Amino acid sequence: MGLIDLTLNIAGLLLWINWRSTGFMSRRRPPVVSLVATLTKAGAGRARRWTSLGSLLGLLLLRALFYWQIGSAVDWTPNLQLQAIALPFRSDYFSRMLIFSFLSFGLVLGMFYCWLLLLSIANRGLPDTDPLQRLVRLHLGWLERWPLGLKLLLPLLLGAACWSGSAVGLARLEIIPPAQSPAHLLQQSLVIGVCAYLSWKHLIVALLGLHVLNSYVYLGNYPFWNYVNATARNLLWPLSGLPLRLAGIDFTPVAGIALIWLAADYGGRGLSQLYLHLPLRV
């Protein structure tokens, strides 16, 4: 069931990306041939765009119904993994499955935008002529114009805000214990906000792994591989001064993968323990 949920979340994310991408394409106005042709193309583009969004909403509703019907039969209790805490949802209540369906997709969507934010920060020096970086900037929209410092703080701020906004409702549903005080809720929110940075681990490890592969196996001069190599070099910049070359082999990407994996692993454990010991008395 966990694999099914992940697959449906990816399908939902693709529908979201298609909805957003259709909006980008509709802004690029081709040369006008006739008024009728222009109106027809615009109407067709809007129809395709809202079909994607409608399909996404339908997917989230239908899978909630599916989870409700199947979950209790297979003794499945879905969990929303937030690194510091896992939120369990009873599958024998349709309302719980509906909430889980939307929150589960929201978590994947938030991770996607955290990845875009990391690519925006790491590749801020790349020009708009790079097609993949241009896509990143289009998807981020007005957030792309924010200063570097605010971009770095954004996962923390949004993660904390989302937890603060949902903690009361989750406590009423008895999914989590209620916060003991506003200070307790603030501390919880900050811990969950820091957890948002741990989502960068998967993207960084994947990019560095692909960079290592492309360094030793020629896979063609394609924009994708050029982008991977440029991003990997930017991500490895903090390690560039270390003596990590031996016999002509550069071990910097391997060291980067190991450091990120260990930092995320121990960081996740530490944040989980910290959350359990809240509230901290100052």
Q: What pTM was computed for the model? A: 0.89
Lowest mean pLDDT among 130-144, 180-194, 239-253: 239-253
pLDDT score for 240: 82
Query: Do 26 and 131 reside in the same domain of the chain?
Result: no
Whether 149 and 243 share a structural domain: yes
pLDDT tens digit sequence for 258-275: 999 999 999 999 999 999
Question: Which residue has better confidence, 25 or 272?
Answer: 272
Q: Are residues 136 and 247 in the same domain?
A: yes
pLDDT at 189 over 90: yes
Considering the domain architecture, whether residues 70 and 111 belong to the same structural domain is answered as no
pLDDT at 251 over 50: yes
Q: What is the pLDDT of residue 181?
A: 93
Same domain for 115 and 248, yes or no, is yes
Q: What average pLDDT does the structure give for the chain?
A: 88
Is 90 exceeded by the pLDDT of residue 245? no
Q: Are residues 117 and 182 in the same domain?
A: yes
Does position 38 have pLDDT exceeding 50, yes or no? no
Q: Across residues 115-121, what is the average pLDDT?
A: 96
Long-range contact pairs involving 160-165 (C-beta distance under 8 Å, separation at least 24): 160/189, 160/190, 160/192, 160/193, 161/189, 162/110, 162/192, 163/188, 163/189, 163/192, 163/193, 164/189
- Per residue in 134-157, pLDDT (tens digit) is 999 999 988 999 999 999 999 999
- Whole-angstrom distance, CA of residue 211 vs CA of residue 231: 9
> What pLDDT was estimated at residue 246?
78
Residue 245 lies in domain: 106-276
* Within a domain: 264: yes
- The domain tally of the chain equals 2
Residue 139: inside a domain, yes or no? yes
